[in-house]
Amino acid sequence: MPLRDLSTDQLRHYGFTAVFTWGSVEDFKHFLPRLLELTATEGFQAPDTESLYGRLAYAKFSTWPAAEQAAVRAFGMAHWRASLAHESADDPDAVLTGLMLLGEDLTPYLAVLREFPDDIEWFRAEAARGRRNAYLGATTVAAEQRFRDWLDSDIDPTKHPTPE
């Protein structure tokens, strides 16, 4: 069966166990394009988007060939934009958390977030209530703090550059 024809039901178990308990990194790379497509378009109950991005880090994404990293990053940016525009099965919090778990530099993602002032306000309100995505942990402390500092800054999406 062609990869593009595999359904969420057919890939759910693999996606939930990939790399951690079943299959190699090369196996994961084979199924990854379809897993990412399905998480963005249909969504999974499990694995969650955050978990899927986190598996990339576990699979030593930063050591992958540059072309493979670029492809995943291009998808991550498109996924982020789609979630902010509410054109994805995922909400922005899930995608941003996944990108933090992946270890991405948030600068380009924050630049895109400036185009969505309602989402900035949503993130601010959630942060003010002390809400924190359950997937965030020790590996994301610096990225989380940077994001919270950015949210606490005097953000005007139309007038200020993204902080470095």
What tens digit of pLDDT does each residue of 107-143 get? 999 999 999 999 999 999 999 998 889 889 888 999 9
**What pLDDT shows up at residue 160?**
46
Q: How far apart are CA 30 and CA 64, in angstroms?
A: 13
What tens digit of pLDDT does each residue of 25-47 get? 999 999 999 999 998 988 876 67
Is residue 145 predicted with pLDDT exceeding 80?
A: yes
Strand, coil or helix: what is 107? helix
For 107, the token pair is 């600068």
Own/partner pairs for 3-10, CB < 8 Å, 24+ apart? 3/30, 3/31, 3/33, 3/34, 4/34, 6/31, 6/34, 7/38, 8/38, 8/42, 8/43, 8/44
Own/partner pairs for 14-17, CB < 8 Å, 24+ apart? 15/44, 15/46, 15/47, 15/52, 16/46, 16/47, 16/51
- Is the CB of residue 119 less than 8 Å from the CB of residue 92? yes
Q: How far apart are CA 95 and CA 71, in angstroms?
A: 16
Q: How far apart are CA 162 and CA 156, in angstroms?
A: 10
> Which residue in this structure is represented by tokens 């694995």?
47
Is residue 59 predicted with pLDDT exceeding 90?
A: yes
Is residue 163 predicted with pLDDT exceeding 50?
A: no
